[in-house]
């Protein structure tokens, strides 16, 4: 049933890159605070592919997005800080170009030499990027002989710099994309049993689809974070002022029915940490999950829930985790996420953490090195595991 059935990924190792200009889509959409990169994991993840190309005398032209500049140049979303950090990590100069298309780019690249590394300006400074405008894709591809996609976190988006250019140039998967596909295909094809999912995050709206599609693959699902309160309300419980997606209550009930019919254990919190606001230093209490007083909201899973979830995690052979268990950015509401991370780290299971917010939580809590794999893409990871079409990935297959 896996994604790889009947399909083959074209790998960059198969390409003749010597003396060629290679356009590489990377995902450098990293957090920048006061002009400084707060987390460079995504930049580090791209290094093996860049080094492989440089060692084989390719001219490397890197393309990325950063933030949401809405199709126009916004100075705070310039890639210049990224180039500085990348240059340090590669221990070689990385030249930032003033745009990602146009004569200035063509002239600069033409004037470069084998082994040079250029970083194009933010592709989202042009509206044609997110609309996958063919003319914009042609301009992006104008200076290059080959295209390599190493931006796994963007593969679920059919944008000009992901799917568009792949239709114009010989297109290959970079080393990071290859690794992501290999790991996630293992979860689709032959996961060890029991296979459990840990689903959290702020809103049920973004997680109900993944839960529904993953149910046939899983033996148990543990629901935490803000997602849990929509489930609890759907079951007729009192959740006080907790976050809830009222418009999805019927869909939530349908998912609970599906889980029962498919013999998938659905574990919801038995207790939660409640407060009257999300802030450090506020009064907190432990409440039964379905009996939260008015004026209070659930912000983290409680100690009984942590123990119950941890027992299931400890017995698992495969773990997929997407979404924190509470407002981990604001202590003391990081405790549930921290203790579940500890349980996953101590488990003998093969554990995969979806990227995005969960990856950031695992990294900030110091557990990234103790889980089996942290995906670089949250949405792309879930889309892949759900069996959704990833247009930019399909463009790399034959």
Asked if 118 and 62 touch (Cβ cutoff 8 Å), the reply is yes
Q: Which of 356, 359, 377, 378 is catalytic?
A: 356
Q: Which of 20, 42, 308, 338 is catalytic?
A: 42
Which two three-digit tokens encode residue 260? 């029962």
Q: C-alpha angle 117/363/267, rounded to 5°?
A: 135
Asked if 309 and 347 touch (Cβ cutoff 8 Å), the reply is no
Which two three-digit tokens encode residue 167? 């239709």
Could you tell me how many residues make up the chain? Answer: 398
Burial label, 272 (beta-carbon count in 10 A; 0-12, 13-18, 19+)? buried
Q: Which of 197, 298, 326, 379 is catalytic?
A: 379
Strands 318-322 and 350-353, bridge-based pairing = parallel
Rounded Cα–Cα distance for residues 301 and 175 (Å): 38
- Among residues 198, 218, 241, 129, the alpha carbon closest in space to that of 371 is found at 198
203 catalytic residue (yes or no): yes
Phi, psi of 86 (to 5 degrees): -65, -40
- Among residues 249, 214, 180, the alpha carbon closest in space to that of 323 is found at 214
Q: Which of 11, 84, 92, 203 is catalytic?
A: 203
Report cis status (omega within 30 of 0) of the bond before 89.
Answer: no
Which two three-digit tokens encode residue 180? 């992501």
Which two three-digit tokens encode residue 14? 């198969």
Report cis status (omega within 30 of 0) of the bond before 332.
Answer: yes
Give DSSP secondary structure letters for 82-126. Answer: HHHHHHHHHTS-EEEPS-SSSHHHHHHHHT--TT-EEE---GGGS
Give DSSP secondary structure letters for 30-71. Answer: --EETTEES--HHHHHHHHHHHHHHHTT-EEEEE---S--TT
42 catalytic residue (yes or no): yes
| Residues noted as catalytic | 42, 203, 356, 379
């Amino acid at each position: 049933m896996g994604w790889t059935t009947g399909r083959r990924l074209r790998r960059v190792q198969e390409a003749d890159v010597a003396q060629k200009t290679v356009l590489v889509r990377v995902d450098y959409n990293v957090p920048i605070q006061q002009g400084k990169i707060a987390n460079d994991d995504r930049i580090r993840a791209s290094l093996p592919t860049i080094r492989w190309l440089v060692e084989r005398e390719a001219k490397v032209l890197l393309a990325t997005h950063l933030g949401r500049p809405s199709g126009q140049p916004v100075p705070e979303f310039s890639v210049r800080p990224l180039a500085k950090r990348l240059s340090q990590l590669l221990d070689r100069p990385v030249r930032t170009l003033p745009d990602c298309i146009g004569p200035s780019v063509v002239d600069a690249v033409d004037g470069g030499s084998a082994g040079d590394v250029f970083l194009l300006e933010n592709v989202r400074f042009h509206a044609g990027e997110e609309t996958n405008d063919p003319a914009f894709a042609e301009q992006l591809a104008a200076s290059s002989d080959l295209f390599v996609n190493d931006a796994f976190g963007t593969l679920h988006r059919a944008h000009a710099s992901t799917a568009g250019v792949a239709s114009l140039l010989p297109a290959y998967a970079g080393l990071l994309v290859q690794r992501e596909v290999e790991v996630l295909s293992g979860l689709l094809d032959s996961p060890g049993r029991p296979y459990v999912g840990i689903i959290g995050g702020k809103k049920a709206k973004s997680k109900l689809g993944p839960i529904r599609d993953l149910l046939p693959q899983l033996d148990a699902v543990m629901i935490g974070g803000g997602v849990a309160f929509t489930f609890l309300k759907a079951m007729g419980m009192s959740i006080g002022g907790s976050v809830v997606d009222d418009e999805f209550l019927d869909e939530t009930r349908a998912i609970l029915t599906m889980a029962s019919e498919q013999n998938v254990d659905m574990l919801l919190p038995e207790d939660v940490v409640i407060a009257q606001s999300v802030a450090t230093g506020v009064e907190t209490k432990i409440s039964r999950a379905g009996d939260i007083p008015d004026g209070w909201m659930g912000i983290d899973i409680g100690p009984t829930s942590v123990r119950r979830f941890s027992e299931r995690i400890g017995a698992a052979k495969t773990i997929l985790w997407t979404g924190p268990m509470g407002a981990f950015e604001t202590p003391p509401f990081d405790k549930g996420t921290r203790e579940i991370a500890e349980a996953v780290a101590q488990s003998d299971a093969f554990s995969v953490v979806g990227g995005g917010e969960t990856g950031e939580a695992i990294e900030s809590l110091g557990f990234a090195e103790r889980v089996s794999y942290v995906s670089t893409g949250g949405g792309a990871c879930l889309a892949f595991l759900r069996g959704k079409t990833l247009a930019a990935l399909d463009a790399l297959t034959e």
